[in-house]
Structure 1
Amino acid sequence: MKISIHNLKSGDQLIEDVYSHSGLHLLSASTVLVSQDIQYLIKHEVDYVSIKWREVPQTESNPILTQTAVMESVDQDASLIEISDHLSPFTVVSFHEAIVGVKDLFDRAALNSQIDISVVNASFSPLMNNIKQEKDVVSLLLSLGSDDDYTFQHCVRVGIISYFLAIWLNKSEQEAKFIGKAGFLLDIGKSKVDPQILTKPAKLTQEEFEEAKKHTTYGYEIIMNSMQDEDLAAAALQHHERSDGSGYPEGRTADQIHPIAKIIAVADIYSAMISKRVYSDDRDLLYVLKELNEMSFGKLDPTIVQTFIKNMLPNFINKKVILTNGQKGTIIMTNPTDFFRPLIKIDDKFVDMTKNRELEIQTVLMT
């Protein structure tokens, strides 16, 4: 797990080497940290390090989720085994349960245009409690993504991203969980759209696209019918609105869009753009952030987008990359003045990409 150095504790064990901003090797993988090591890292202005998983304590919200019970759940479910190597087993199981919860919500909404708030809380709250242990948000999102049950997984991923983004925007824990819940429910209106339209592999006709767009209005109606929460309902209605008025369903401009809708719009787009289901070319995560950055000029709230990018980039530290010249290296440090041109280590040499403008990162390897 990747963690801020300010959250380190004596006894934490490094799983990757740590370098300074200038490329100086500070501590080696497998080092068990003591207080002097932590102060040493702070002195060298290191932001994040990767440490071995800490044992997650049993909580009131998950009284039966002991480490043994969770691991048994993972072992018994083949669909969870692939992602269990990268994440806490608590996160793996709660993610799976959240997907089951979304399916249940969609089924109920399709039948009577209502959802049960107790199912929302039971599905989403345990996940929120567990993902706080996951400091490497990039690996978290990639590990939790697949082509199966795209709509349901997308809802859960948007809820996760919305929660983290709200935290990064200095919202309180309570506010962040509420915004995460809004992300979790953003596409509930799709329960009223013809499934053949939602799963059609080819480009939608204009008539089909107009029907698909109605999911925003359907979502507003379902949430208001179920819990009369204007904020959650407005977020579902407006998450496809754009600052320049080019969005739908009402063509609202920046000052007319609900603040929560602006946050989950960024989460929605990022989740969709990293999905093979939506973009068959399997776009690189850094490339997606660049596209999102371009959308902050007119389409999306620039403060929200820049906050998202600024907080996502540290998660790329220690990730292996392929450059446009074919060389392979490792991201050592991000550059605060040029987000997309970090310091790269290639074998025993360091390449500052701000001084090598002809080079670009072609691919980030997440394995």
Structure 2
Amino acid sequence: MRIHIMNLQDGDRLTADTFSDAGLHILGKGTVIKSEDISLLMQHRVDYVDIESREEEITEAEFFAAAAKFAAGSSMAAGSSIKEEPPEEEMKSQFTQTVHNYQNAFLEALTVGKFNATMVDDALQPMVDGLDEQKDVVHLLMMLERDDVNNYTHSIQVGLLSFYLASWMGYSQKESYQISRGGYLHDIGKCRVSHRIRNKMEPLTADEQLELQRHTIYGHDIIKSSMTDEATALVALQHHEREDGSGYPMQIDKNEIHPYTQIVSVADVYIGMRSGIHGGSNPNLINNLRDIYSMGFGKLNEKPVQALMQHLLPNFIGKQVLLSNGEKGVIIMNNTSDIFNPLVKVESEQYRDLSKERSIAIKELII
């Protein structure tokens, strides 16, 4: 199928060699598209390429119809061109489309220094509107985790968790959406960082680390050029600042960090732990929460950290777990005095109180 490069997605495969107007060979047949490949095509002014057909391609009209259905919680009428799907599948479909939208905004910011703010809202708002239907936040976050972690998927997950945190802390629907958008766009400045640095697997050199840190400044400038929302721009600028002054780019302390940034920073670090953005990927949600809890004493603001604890931990009750001793079981109750070591009923009908049996820990949460 022939497609405009702005509609390319990560994972699309070229079915023919691609050349510039000057005859320069750009990408070979069989190339699996990544974000840097799209940037390369744009730089050489290539407009269209040929790719393999996508198995589950949907039209823009179908996507927004599905999004409207999900937000309203209604059933599709008989004879609709979209097959009826459970809310989980619709959320996954929305997530995929929102990833595509973020990719377009990212590449637009790379080429012209700004993005279409209306298109951002058109993609993010339906997804946020549907979040009220997802009561089990632990399940939602695990459901949306992807093997192909990249800047796009990370940013969307941060945006969604930021919305929940803001709602839990008492912010209005409008404010919560604005905070969610700040999370969605917090890393947009990485478009100006060399993809070699962004994708480098080895430790960065000191100079490379400084260049990567500049994404906060780049993001602030891009958002200021794209929309009249100072708070969102400040989230991009400040999301790596820490309350003890140890962050970057300005080493400001707790009193100077915007309240919206304090929320997005917690979401960013937590999602980063899950995906490996901030260190090795860790499948143990409870250990992730324990690490975040520790950072709430000097690094991250304690209010969104506590909101995360209070609303995620109850969702663990009823979840299946794999224990470090090989047993499988179900979390029956959280221990109020030791919140990260719950009571677990194992398959042998015995109970493991992990607050007392210190040699046993939860190895993995299963959904």
TM over 0.5: yes
CA distance in 1, matches of 2:103, 2:208: 23
Per-residue deviation, 1:336: 3.0
Alignment correspondent of 1:203: 203
SS across alignment from 1:132: helix
Alignment correspondent of 1:352: 353
Alignment correspondent of 1:58: 69
**Are residue 316 (structure 1) and residue 287 (structure 2) matched?**
no
Per-residue deviation, 1:172: 1.3
Per-residue deviation, 1:230: 0.9
Distance 1:345 1:200, change over 3 A: same
> Are 1:273 and 1:283, in contact at CA under 8 Å, matched by a contact in 2?
no
Amino acid in structure 1 at the alignment position of 2:260: I
> Are 1:343 and 1:350, in contact at CA under 8 Å, matched by a contact in 2?
yes
Per-residue deviation, 1:302: 1.3
Q: CA-to-partner distance for each residue in 1:148-191, whole Å, 9 max, x for gaps? A: 25100001000000001111111111111111111001001111
Alignment correspondent of 1:80: none
Which sits farther off after the overlay, 157-166 or 172-181? 172-181
Matches within 5 A, 1:136-285: 136-148=136-148, 150-276=150-276, 279-285=279-285
Distance 1:281 1:274, change over 3 A: closer
Amino acid in structure 2 at the alignment position of 1:261: T
Distance 1:71 1:286, change over 3 A: farther
Distance 1:359 1:146, change over 3 A: same
Alignment correspondent of 2:306: 306
SS across alignment from 1:123: helix
Distance 1:136 1:69, change over 3 A: farther
Distance 1:110 1:66, change over 3 A: farther
Per-residue deviation, 1:335: 2.6
Per-residue deviation, 1:199: 0.8
SS across alignment from 1:341: strand
SS across alignment from 2:338: coil
Q: How many residues align?
A: 300
CA distance in 2, matches of 1:191, 1:166: 27
- The structure showing larger relative contact order (alpha-carbon pairs under 8 Å, at least 6 residues apart) is 1
Q: CA-to-partner distance for each residue in 1:214-235, whole Å, 9 max, x for gaps? A: 0100111011111131111111
CA distance in 2, matches of 1:149, 1:324: 27
CA distance in 2, matches of 1:171, 1:218: 28
> Are 2:273 and 2:280, in contact at CA under 8 Å, matched by a contact in 1?
no
Distance 1:59 1:362, change over 3 A: closer
SS across alignment from 1:104: helix
Superposition RMSD on alpha carbons, in Å? 2.6
Distance 1:210 1:57, change over 3 A: closer
Distance 1:69 1:151, change over 3 A: farther
CA distance in 2, matches of 1:169, 1:294: 20
Per-residue deviation, 1:126: 0.9
CA distance in 2, matches of 1:99, 1:191: 15
Distance 1:222 1:241, change over 3 A: same
SS across alignment from 1:345: strand
Alignment correspondent of 2:295: 295
> Are 1:190 and 1:218, in contact at CA under 8 Å, matched by a contact in 2?
yes
CA distance in 2, matches of 1:272, 1:144: 14
Amino acid in structure 1 at the alignment position of 2:335: N
Per-residue deviation, 1:312: 0.8
Amino acid in structure 2 at the alignment position of 1:351: R
Distance 1:297 1:60, change over 3 A: closer
Amino acid in structure 2 at the alignment position of 1:58: K
TM-score (normalizing by structure 1): 0.75
Alignment correspondent of 2:58: none
CA distance in 1, matches of 2:207, 2:77: 50
Per-residue deviation, 1:348: 2.1
CA distance in 2, matches of 1:103, 1:62: 28
Q: CA-to-partner distance for each residue in 1:4-42, whole Å, 9 max, x for gaps? A: xxxxxxxxxxxxxxxxxxxxxxxxxxxxxxxxxxxxxxx
Distance 1:116 1:66, change over 3 A: farther
Any stretches of 5+ residues in structure 1 without a counterpart? 1-54, 75-83
Per-residue deviation, 1:254: 0.6
> Are 1:117 and 1:226, in contact at CA under 8 Å, matched by a contact in 2?
yes
Distance 1:268 1:358, change over 3 A: same
Which sits farther off after the overlay, 262-271 or 224-233? 224-233
Per-residue deviation, 1:61: 8.4
